[in-house]
Amino acid sequence: MTRSLRWKNIGAPLVVLAVSLGLGVALNPAAAAPAPEWPSVPGAVFALRNASVTTPVVAFDAKGRALIAFNCAPRGRGLFGRFHELVCDDGSFHARDAGPWIGLQVAKSAAFTLEVTLTPAPAPPKSLGVVLAYGDDAGEDAALLQDKNGLSLRLGGIQPIALFAPEAGKSVHVLIACGNDKWVAYRDGQPVHSGPLAASASAWGTRQFVMGANWSGADPWHGRMEGIAVFPKALTAGEAAGEAAAIRALQAGRKPATTVRFQGTLVRQAKTSALEDIRPYTRSLTAAEYKIKRVLAGEWNQPDITVLHWMIMDGKRLPIADRKLGTEVELSVERLEEHPQLESCRRDEITEGDIAADLFYCESETDP
């Protein structure tokens, strides 16, 4: 069984792809075994494993019909990572059209479970950040938060419930099951804390689901996330463990990117196109060439290096697009070939010089 799934790439027109909804069978029987199924538990009203167009999404419109044109819309500096995870760096993501059905089903069942696999920023947060939020201009029904003390759950806008403290820069599977007047928090599939739950905790309205900030975009959370799900029921301990195991199996075998950190001087930069000239794109990369002064980490033995930066985001031209030659920088960059999520993204390139030069990608010009 297949369906047509549409996904809006960051800054790119809609892409349409036929995606299998079954477990899938490799064309070559000797090929690698099918990836583990996630969610491993049926019944989710929303489930987003990652932003790849080849990964099925569980999402429904307000009438309970599958959203075949689901759009995980990036806001601000929300990006997709090299494993198609959601990168929240003063940006967030809106699950367009999927929110109302989530609230209707949670209110109907009087129970819910929130699930997400997080990699918080390497530096501990200095202020409150909203990891997940179910809210709108009129209010908020639920939010998963992180501050310097750790993760917490805020329900109905009241005092947050403390959960546990994740380790900075390290992936952790988080699941909070709420039902039968009780909440239970699981860390990597193991229960860590529990407590009483107010009877009104599941009285959700028909709001919006946002990842990486609250509905207004305030209180941004810094880090990466994947495996995001909402269930209209309280998952059991065994189900929580199964969800964590499925995600870990999908993450297995990942290797770090080839990274070069350097100090250098801007010697050349492509001209960033005007906003009106790139429509319907709303985001665009621009190439910049640097003279290497010093390599701080990684291996690079060439005198120059060419790097792609985001210079238009969310239909706005960034200040970096108008830098002067001679600007001194210290950057951490990764090989472009290791970032498949950028293949369809628009870019302005340096037309003269060595067009065969290795290209690098700078996800962020500042450390988290």
159-183 per-position pLDDT tens digit: 899 999 999 999 999 999 999 999 9
Buried b (16+ CB within 10 A) or exposed e, 356-366: eeebbbbbbee
pLDDT cut 90: percent of the chain above it? 83
208 pLDDT above the threshold of 50: yes
Q: Which of 307, 302, 247 is nearest to 55 (CA)?
A: 247
For residues 95 and 142, state if they share a domain: yes
For residues 271 and 296, state if they share a domain: yes
Mean pLDDT, to the nearest integer, of 38-67? Answer: 96
Q: Which of 311, 343, 350 is nearest to 80 (CA)?
A: 343
352 pLDDT above the threshold of 80: no
For residues 266 and 247, state if they share a domain: no
22 pLDDT above the threshold of 80: no
Bridge-based pairing state of the strands 304-313 and 359-361? parallel
Domain enclosing residue 276, as ranges: 259-361
Does 199 fall in a domain? yes
For residues 118 and 137, state if they share a domain: yes
For residues 273 and 150, state if they share a domain: no
For residue 190, what pLDDT is reported? 98
pLDDT tens for each residue of 238-257:
999 999 999 999 999 999 99
The pLDDT confidence band at residue 199, using thresholds 50, 70 and 90, is: confident
Does 367 fall in a domain? no
Q: Give how many domains the chain has, as a whole number.
A: 2
Per the structure block, which two tokens stand in for 199? 């009877």
From 206, 235, 251, the end of a domain falls on: 251
Buried b (16+ CB within 10 A) or exposed e, 207-220: bbbbbbbbbebebb
Mean pLDDT, to the nearest integer, of 347-363? Answer: 83
For residue 187, what pLDDT is reported? 98
For residues 137 and 96, state if they share a domain: yes
For residues 67 and 156, state if they share a domain: yes
For residues 234 and 265, state if they share a domain: no
Does 368 fall in a domain? no
20 pLDDT above the threshold of 60: no
From 251, 270, 296, the end of a domain falls on: 251
